A and B are shown apart, each in its own frame.
Chain A
Amino acid sequence: MNDTASEKQPEAAPIIEIVGMHKWFGDFHVLRDIHLTVKRQERIVICGPSGSGKSTLIRCINRLEEHQRGDIIVDGIELTNNIKNIEKIRAEVGMVFQHFNLFPHLTIMENLTLGPIWVRKVPKKEAEETAMHYLEKVQIAEQAEKYPGQLSGGQQQRVAIARSLCMKPKVMLFDEPTSALDPEMVKEVLDAMIELAEEGMTMLVVSHEMGFARSVAHRVLFMDFGRIVEENEPEAFFHHPQHERTQLFLSQILH
């Protein structure tokens, strides 16, 4: 596992480019001067203490949050206030949430086919075949006709991953995908994410799963007080953290 990072070199053209981006919540300066370039097929893990702005950062990328200064360019399109077709960009950017956010009134199958049918205008039958394909991939095909409330947390999160994949996104964002799970369910979700990584998906993952970061990420970012404090390849990041705050944070979570 340890050398997946070196095996697959990311392609050249960046899919996400963030330049000098700032964001405020009221008076609170939550993101400060963020610069980040994500190449296609690159996998980045973002970690940092709570309140450091890491979730807000990835939520800005599909504009669930609006930034106030600087530029965010996703797949060649700049995110601005008067953007007309934000839906077009969101369709290309999959997102997995901490609390799954499956639609409780729809079956698993309906959860998965909703986006493709209504946004991508895929015929229902084709959408269902795609959905089945991804459900098999995350190993819960037999649950297709159940409702989200009937599944365990780990299963729900795998459904959420499959739901995003059904849109055939160019990037996947993960917002602490395992932190709301019971400990015994973390692995099944991480396994699904590792498999996705091996297929070359571009991924931005906010997570404290250091084992996952080590085996899958090309780069690890450490954020604190709204800034990207340090970024490096996983080996160097974990063994030789440069910044004092990074050292402190790693010592706290790795014991």
Chain B
Amino acid sequence: MDERDVADMDEIKPPKSQTGIIGWIRQNLFNGTFNSILTVITLFFLWKTVPPLIRWFFIDSVWTTGSEACYTADGACWSVISNNIRFILFGLYPHDLQWRPLIAIALLVALLAYSRDRRRWRRSLFYIWATGLFVMGLLMKGGLFGLENVDTTRWSGLPLTLLLSIFGMVAAYPLGVLLALGRRSRMPAIKSLCVVYIEMIRGVPLISLLFMSSIMFPLFLPEGLTINKILRAQIAIILFTAAYIAEVVRGGLQAIPRGQYEAAESLGLNFPQKMRLIVLPQALKIVIPPTVGILVSAFKDTSLVVIIALYDLLKTTQSVLSNPKWMGFSSEAYIFIAFIYFICCFSMSNYSRKLERELGAGERH
């Protein structure tokens, strides 16, 4: 291109009618009869629903009263939460010792916040997590350093939900990657084993796996030997999630061009190096969105453990609602735990977008 061409390229601004607030409204809400009608209908609908909802939610609601006040109030009865918050969050955990799960959760949140920054992903982070998890376990279980022992059958509420989901995700992810690699293996035994595993697990609902782990599995154990109920549910969740992750990761592996494998091989990299340094970093990055989808749904699926009588967050909430004093306030209670679930799931997808952005830097083709 010569200089004359560059000089001729004057900046041209867009027409005035398409800028500013009025422009935006005209362009987006009232361009054409049909869209104008839709806009009016939507506005009417919002006017009918939003103000009453706000009134129910905030203005007419009661927050810290007893249950009697709730029956006379017109709005929401948030007292069901505030009066039972400790049972909803910590369930059957001994009342006087509930500071321990509280600290454990705070520690977990702190660790997650610390690990957000990718620059901190070094070997030391691994040790920090190992220590953190040990301290959390110690706080929950006790029995050491003068902490009173708390039986795992009393672990419940939010700590149980977080335990099942976080360990479930953390263990399922590497297992899923191994299964995906196994399914693409050239060794027939490994390949068919992985295919059978993945297809079998994906062919049954999580509920049936949970039932099997809690009811059928103990029947096969020798007498006197029992495996912790939470652990059994945990393993079922891990095995289930891993099968789904495996298929997503396999999709990512297939998206990596042959040339990448060949370039890695021609440098003399062996199989583990080729996978770890070249193929997996690219494949796993491609499949971040579907992976997070699976992790988010795995997180919510932990609420299914209610059917094997584990007291997770959902179960503790239901127990509160079965108390005659608080019957009938299920909307408020469910909105509250939906809010907790939302916070967790939204932070996950939010973080995955951030990660995708960062990893995508400079990788345009």
Selected from B262, B269, B362, the residue in CB contact (under 8 A) with A101 is: B262
Band of interface residues on B: 20 to 34
Selected from B264, B266, B365, the residue in CB contact (under 8 A) with A104 is: B365
Chain A residues with CB under 8 Å of B257's CB are 101
Contact A62 B266 (CB under 8 A): yes
Whole-angstrom distance between the alpha carbons of A102 and B365 in the complex? 11
Closest-CB distance, A172 to chain B (whole angstroms): 11
Contact A105 B281 (CB under 8 A): yes
Closest-CB distance, B10 to chain A (whole angstroms): 29
A234 proximal to B (CB < 8 A): no
Closest-CB distance, A207 to chain B (whole angstroms): 18
Chain B residues with CB under 8 Å of A162's CB are none
Q: Identify whether the interface residues of B are mostly helix, strand, loop, or mixed.
A: helix
Selected from A88, A104, A119, the residue in CB contact (under 8 A) with B363 is: A104
B222 proximal to A (CB < 8 A): no
B229 proximal to A (CB < 8 A): no
B267 proximal to A (CB < 8 A): yes
Selected from A87, A93, A149, A150, the residue in CB contact (under 8 A) with B270 is: A87
Chain A residues with CB under 8 Å of B281's CB are 105
The A46-103 residues at the B interface (CB cut-off 8 A) are 62, 64, 87-88, 90-91, 93-95, 97, 99, 101-103
The B245-278 residues at the A interface (CB cut-off 8 A) are 257, 259-260, 262-270, 273, 277-278
Q: Which residue of A lies closest to B260 (CB)?
A: A101
Chain B residues with CB under 8 Å of A64's CB are 262, 265-266
Selected from A90, A104, A146, A149, the residue in CB contact (under 8 A) with B267 is: A90
Report A115-142 CB contacts with B as 1/0, cut-off 8 Å: 1001100000000000000000000000
Chain A residues with CB under 8 Å of B277's CB are 114, 118
Report B334-365 CB contacts with A as 1/0, cut-off 8 Å: 00000000000000000000000001011111
**How many residues of A are in contact with the other chain, CB < 8 A?**
28
Whole-angstrom distance between the alpha carbons of A29 and B278 in the complex? 33
A167 proximal to B (CB < 8 A): yes
Closest-CB distance, B259 to chain A (whole angstroms): 4
The A1-39 residues at the B interface (CB cut-off 8 A) are none
B285 proximal to A (CB < 8 A): yes
Closest-CB distance, B258 to chain A (whole angstroms): 9
Report A132-174 CB contacts with B as 1/0, cut-off 8 Å: 0000000000000011011000000000000110010000000
Whole-angstrom distance between the alpha carbons of A103 and B363 in the complex? 10
Contact B268 A104 (CB under 8 A): no
Selected from B267, B282, B361, B363, the residue in CB contact (under 8 A) with A115 is: B267
Q: Which residue of B lies closest to A96 (CB)?
A: B266
Contact A94 B269 (CB under 8 A): no
Whole-angstrom distance between the alpha carbons of A30 and B363 in the complex? 37
Selected from A62, A99, A115, A150, the residue in CB contact (under 8 A) with B269 is: A115
Q: Which residue of A lies closest to B271 (CB)?
A: A87
Selected from A97, A105, A149, A150, the residue in CB contact (under 8 A) with B262 is: A97
Whole-angstrom distance between the alpha carbons of A93 and B265 in the complex? 11
Whole-angstrom distance between the alpha carbons of A102 and B266 in the complex? 12
Whole-angstrom distance between the alpha carbons of A103 and B268 in the complex? 15
Whole-angstrom distance between the alpha carbons of A150 and B359 in the complex? 15
Selected from B259, B282, B359, B365, the residue in CB contact (under 8 A) with A97 is: B259
Whole-angstrom distance between the alpha carbons of A150 and B360 in the complex? 12
Chain B residues with CB under 8 Å of A90's CB are 265-268
Contact B365 A149 (CB under 8 A): yes
Given contacts A118-B273, A149-B363, A150-B364, contact A103 B265 (CB under 8 A): no
Whole-angstrom distance between the alpha carbons of A167 and B265 in the complex? 13
Contact A118 B364 (CB under 8 A): no
Report which A residues bind B (CB closer than 8 A): 62, 64, 87-88, 90-91, 93-95, 97, 99, 101-105, 107, 114-115, 118-119, 146-147, 149-150, 163-164, 167
10 more CB-based (< 8 A) A-B contacts, given A93-B266, A101-B260: A62-B266, A64-B262, A87-B270, A101-B259, A104-B365, A105-B281, A115-B267, A118-B277, A119-B268, A119-B269
What are 7 A-B pairs with beta-carbon distances under 8 A?
A64-B265, A97-B263, A119-B273, A147-B362, A147-B363, A164-B267, A167-B267
